[in-house]
Chains A and B, each alone.
Chain A
Amino acid sequence: MNRWLKYAGYAALALAPVAAFAAGDALQGEVKKAPLNISAIVMFFAFVAFTLGITYWAARRTRSASDFYTAGGGITGFQNGLAIAGDYMSAASFLGISAMVFEKGYDGLIYSIGFLVGWPVILFLVAERLRNLGKFTFADVASYRLNQTHVRILAATGTLVVVALYLIAQMVGAGKLIQLLFGMNYASAVVLVGVLMVLYVMFGGMLATTWVQIIKAVILLSGASFMAFMVLASVGFSPEAMFSKAVEVHDKHAAIMEPGQLVSNPIDAVSLGLALMFGTAGLPHILMRFFTVSNAKEARKSVFFATGFIGYFYILTFIIGFGAIFLVGTNPEFKDAAGKLIGGNNMAAVHLAKAVGGNLFLGFISAVAFATILAVVAGLALSGASAVSHDLYASVIKKGKADEAAEMRVSKITTLVLGVIAIVLGIIFEKQNIAFMVGLAFSIAASANFPVLFLSMFWKGLTTRGAVVGGFVGLFSAVLLIVLGPAVWVDVMGNAKGSAPFAYKNPALFSMTLAFVTTWLVSVMDNSKQAQEERKLFDAQFVRAMTGIGAAGASKH
Chain B
Amino acid sequence: MNEDVLKRVQQNPKFAELVHKKTTFGWTLSIVMLAIYYGFILILAFAPKSLGASLSGGVTTLGMPVGVLIILSAFVLTGIYVRRANTEFDQLNQEIVEESK
Question: What is A's interface to B at a CB cutoff of 8 Å?
Answer: 106, 109-110, 112-114, 116-117, 119-121, 123-125, 128, 239-240, 243-244, 247, 254, 257-259, 262-266, 269-270, 273, 277, 296-297, 300-301, 303-304, 307-308, 311, 314-315, 318, 539-540, 543-544, 546-550
Distance between Cα atoms of A308 and B74 in the complex (Å): 8
Distance between Cα atoms of A270 and B49 in the complex (Å): 19
Distance between Cα atoms of A351 and B74 in the complex (Å): 31
Hey, which chain A residues are within 8 Å of B67, CB to CB?
106, 109-110, 113, 318
Question: What is B's interface to A at a CB cutoff of 8 Å?
Answer: 1, 5-6, 9-10, 15, 18-19, 22, 25-27, 29-30, 33-34, 36-38, 40-42, 44-46, 48-49, 51-52, 58-61, 63-64, 67-68, 70-72, 74-75, 77-79, 81-82, 85-86, 90, 93, 96-97, 100
B74 and A307: CB pair below 8 A?
Answer: yes
Extra A-B contacts (13), CB below 8 Å, given A124-B25, A269-B44:
A113-B67, A119-B74, A120-B77, A121-B34, A124-B27, A239-B60, A254-B59, A259-B44, A262-B44, A297-B90, A303-B82, A304-B75, A547-B9
A120 and B41: CB pair below 8 A?
Answer: no
B1 and A301: CB pair below 8 A?
Answer: no
A-B contact pairs, 26 of them (CB 8 A): A106-B63, A113-B70, A114-B37, A116-B74, A120-B30, A121-B30, A121-B34, A124-B26, A239-B60, A244-B59, A247-B59, A257-B60, A258-B49, A263-B41, A264-B45, A269-B44, A277-B37, A297-B90, A300-B86, A304-B82, A539-B10, A540-B6, A543-B15, A547-B18, A548-B97, A549-B5
Main secondary structure of the interface of A (DSSP, over half): helix
* B82: min CB distance to chain A, Å: 5
Hey, which chain B residues are within 8 Å of A547, CB to CB?
9, 15, 18, 93, 96-97, 100
Distance between Cα atoms of A266 and B38 in the complex (Å): 11
Hey, which chain B residues are within 8 Å of A112, CB to CB?
71
Of A247, A543, A548, which contacts B10 at CB under 8 A?
A543
Of A120, A263, A301, A543, which contacts B9 at CB under 8 A?
A543
A546 and B19: CB pair below 8 A?
Answer: yes
Hey, which chain A residues are within 8 Å of B61, CB to CB?
106, 257-258
Of A116, A263, A269, A546, which contacts B71 at CB under 8 A?
A116
